A and B are shown apart, each in its own frame.
Chain A
Amino acid sequence: MDKRPIAETLRRAWCLDLRSLALFRIGLALVVLGDLAARAQGEDLKAFYTDAGVLPRNALTARFAWPELWSFHLVSGTSAGQDWLFAIAAILAFLLLIGFHTRAATIAGWLMLLSLQARDPLILHGADVLLRLLFFWAIFLPLGKRYSVDSWGLKDDLGSEDELTVAPFWPSLTFAAQIAFVFLFTFLMKSGPEWRDGSAVSYALGLEQMGMPLGQWLRDFPALLRLITFGVLAVELAVPFLLFLPWKNGRLRTIGALAILAIQIGFGFTLRVGHFPFVTGIAAIALLPSSFWDRRSAPERITETGFPRLMSAFVAALLVYVLLWNVSTLGRGVRMPDRVQSLGRGLRLDQYWDMFSPSPVIPDGWYVMVGTQRNGGRVDAWRGRPFQESLWSYPGWRGLHDQYPTERWAVYLMDFHTDEGLGQRIQFGEYLCRRWNAGRSKDDPSMLMRIEIYFMQRQNVLDRRPDQPIVKKLVHQQQCGPR
């Protein structure tokens, strides 16, 4: 059987299965819908995407945007305008879900996702980067050949027993390579001493803002955490090989995909990583080989769905581009010229897999936001409640976790107290003032006049005692403006 030429062997090993891709399509649509719903919950839509929020369009375009940033969401600064755009994105995701005009829906959905992400770059994390990349590579894949309206009534071209239709080669390879890059480059970036001495996972779990019950419970077993540290490294290194070794008729790839799923489920239960496990999970589904679905012997012939040769060359070129981009993020001498980077920043192929790397030691703590009213009274400006002295004392990991109402707020405020958050502070302060003062008349004694934002930083993230040393840091103070 292995007497076939190399190209045929690689095709068999790497071309993606149409059923896996169809499930991936459904998963992708559900993740996008979930993401939209999560972003729109509560006050978040107003807070993050309108001119009344923490990042008005003028602040974004003046201070946070890189030149290539583009976003349809800048079309309007009102909640009504954003509602429309969210609704359009949701409709497109629904079309993707049912596989109606799949390719057009994929392209349009991808554009809407890029646009949404560009509207507020301050609340993005790794999952968003991976999501937009999967979406982009999915444009080139036949997502709608199974389980879709598009394929409805079409004759099943699975063919006879000994023939199998699969996705075209280059898009398949590129898609899998993108996922391999995530694991490979995050492995290569984990150069801090904590990853060498095995304490990394302890530090990561010590970041109580991102705590989850299982993860916090695991902190009692340092020896196990050492083991997990090395286990994570091993899996991250192994995944690229499992995905691409062309032997064993897909069994290695199945193991690779399941390993990805397992490690992501592990992350999902121990750390607050938002929709990362879901995004990686659907990627793993797409990688499941044909042999996973039918336990029959290898088909005699495989045929690829149609794909123009010119597009293959284009996708291959982009693969090289993304590989170079990732290599350049390692900072080992390879640098891309600015011109060339423009393409990546315009299509949002830019990526940087630095989760918990080089070192997992991230400052942890909680915010206290004191608002002073016209009549001298104090309020908890963050939660919009009367101030309580107990806010100053360590509330346990649960309290740290609960200080953020949603994942997006966690991302927004995580770096707020560091130098990286410098540019955000005035707009955030204005947002707090505006939110409290909305509907209050000018000389209302309860008007908020000034706010002070403190970060209560834990000195040692491994310390779990209630009386552990805390440093009180004044991050920002400002007067509330006329509006």
Chain B
Amino acid sequence: MRSNSSSFLLFISFVVLQMVFTSLIDFGPLLFISIYPLFLLTLPINTSINKLMIWAFFMGLTIDYFSNSILGINSAASIIMVTCQPWIFKLIYRKGDLENQIRPGMKQLGFYRFTAYITICLTIHHIAVTLIEDFGLIGFTYHIPRVLISILVNTIIILIIEFGVFYKRSI
């Protein structure tokens, strides 16, 4: 089982990584980078939903604090994403795939199902972010291209990180 301290280290490194990516990639208003969901989505499976929500809250808040976004937007969106996570996981989970205490990474789930998992969760997260930013459905059609592009780019970046950093190391 991954201990809390290593989770904390991972937390910090994801924050730093997020900062680095947001400062490196700037495509204007059509794209927002968020790769920190990978941290929340790959916490050990036996983590209770309450703990997940607390992790999501602090992660979102930290990201908001260090980036220039409105404080609270990412935390609200990632709490929503994390709340949906168990159901999404049930959709793609195959019995016997995972032992209880293991990180649901690309190696454990396989490429296709991991990609599906990340994409669905990111979709929820991004829609939540746009809705909270806009506070209403009126201008939502205007935001659809932004959401789609962001989902695509973020999924690719997350897959690259997952493959590059965690794929070979995980058990």
A in complex with B: no
